[in-house]
């Protein structure tokens, strides 16, 4: 009987130990999210980074807003030009010469409209209208028109600079024009690199020209009735960007929920074991 009593007491100890182990796991599980909270706090702090002089009514443009603006501007500025280049190469200049010339002319007019006319006239380009963004100064005023010209055309300028260096560097021994074109091309390329470095190392993604003119890219949605005519049509482009941004945000949230559910299921299965 003594041996049976000992066996029974051991079984009771094991049974009592299991709930205690589960409770310990639950406590450990509750204690682990601390680093996540700390990481979230850091992320929130980074998002709240803003210049002291900028009014609280303005929100710094997100990375998604910048991506939308970049893709729209790239498509508008270069789609027709790329089509003209492809047609020029495939036809060899023999046939379709007039059509190719028209495409090049159209590409040039579109680029001038989006890269020069709109920034001077409205302070924004088509990409910024679509992404609901605009450049402003700390007091909410529009930067000097030169800012828009520099910022909107620095990419194209660097491309032109690369072509100038690529085509003229081999003729430096001739002196004169090749040296001048190569120097100008190198300066244009260096400006793009410097601007990119400033933007990459800035919490507010301010490039060289943004710092020079005290400008910030912020989210901007005009109020109803604020613009009319052609300006109102430009403002209406923001609905496409907003819809796309909402889809991206919904997909991101769905992934986060699915990932959280998987983690919970995994932790529950481990605790049951």
pLDDT digits (tens, 9 = 90+) for 71-92: 999 999 888 888 888 887 777 6
Confirm if 186 and 165 have CB atoms less than 8 A apart.
yes
pLDDT in tens, 201-215: 888 888 999 999 989
Q: Alpha-carbon Rg of the chain, whole angstroms?
A: 30
CA distance 94 to 113: 30
Measure the CA–CA gap between 142 and 27, rounded to whole angstroms. 55
pLDDT tens column, 83-142: 888 887 777 655 557 778 888 899 889 989 998 999 888 888 999 999 989 999 888 888
Q: What is the pLDDT of residue 41?
A: 44
pLDDT averaged over the chain? 77
pTM, rounded to two decimals = 0.66
Are residues 11 and 3 in contact, defined by beta-carbon separation less than 8 angstroms?
A: no
Higher per-residue pLDDT: 138 or 19: 138
| Distant-in-sequence contacts of 267-272, Cβ < 8 A, 24+ apart | 267/29, 270/25, 271/22, 271/25, 271/26, 271/29
Tell me if 220 sits within 8 A of 133, measured CB to CB.
yes
Domain residue extents for the chain:
63-131+224-255, 144-220
- How far, in Å, CA of 131 to CA of 226, rounded? 18
pLDDT at 231 over 70: yes
């Amino acid at each position: 009987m003594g041996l049976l009593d000992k066996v029974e007491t051991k079984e009771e100890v094991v049974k009592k130990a299991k709930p205690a182990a589960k409770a310990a796991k639950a406590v450990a599980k509750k204690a682990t999210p601390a680093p996540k909270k700390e990481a979230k706090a850091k992320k929130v702090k980074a998002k709240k980074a803003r210049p002291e002089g900028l009014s609280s009514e303005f929100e710094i443009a997100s990375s998604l807003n910048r991506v939308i603006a970049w893709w729209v501007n790239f498509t508008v500025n270069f789609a027709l030009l790329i089509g003209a280049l492809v047609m020029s190469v495939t036809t060899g200049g023999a046939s379709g010469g007039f059509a190719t010339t028209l495409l090049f002319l159209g590409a040039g007019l579109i680029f001038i409209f989006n890269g020069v006319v709109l920034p001077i006239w409205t302070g924004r380009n088509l990409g910024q209208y679509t992404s609901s963004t605009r450049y402003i100064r700390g007091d909410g005023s529009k930067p000097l028109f030169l800012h828009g010209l520099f910022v909107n055309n620095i990419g194209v300028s660097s491309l032109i600079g690369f072509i100038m260096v690529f085509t003229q560097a081999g003729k430096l021994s001739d002196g004169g024009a090749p040296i001048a074109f190569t120097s100008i091309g190198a300066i244009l390329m260096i400006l793009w690199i410097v601007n990119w470095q400033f933007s990459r190392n800035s919490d507010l993604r301010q490039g060289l020209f943004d710092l020079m003119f005290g400008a910030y890219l912020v989210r901007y949605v005009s109020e109803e009735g604020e613009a009319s005519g052609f300006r109102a049509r430009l403002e209406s482009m923001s609905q496409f960007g907003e819809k796309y941004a909402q889809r991206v945000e919904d997909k991101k949230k769905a992934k986060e929920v699915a990932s959280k559910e998987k983690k919970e299921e995994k932790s529950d299965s481990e605790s049951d074991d």
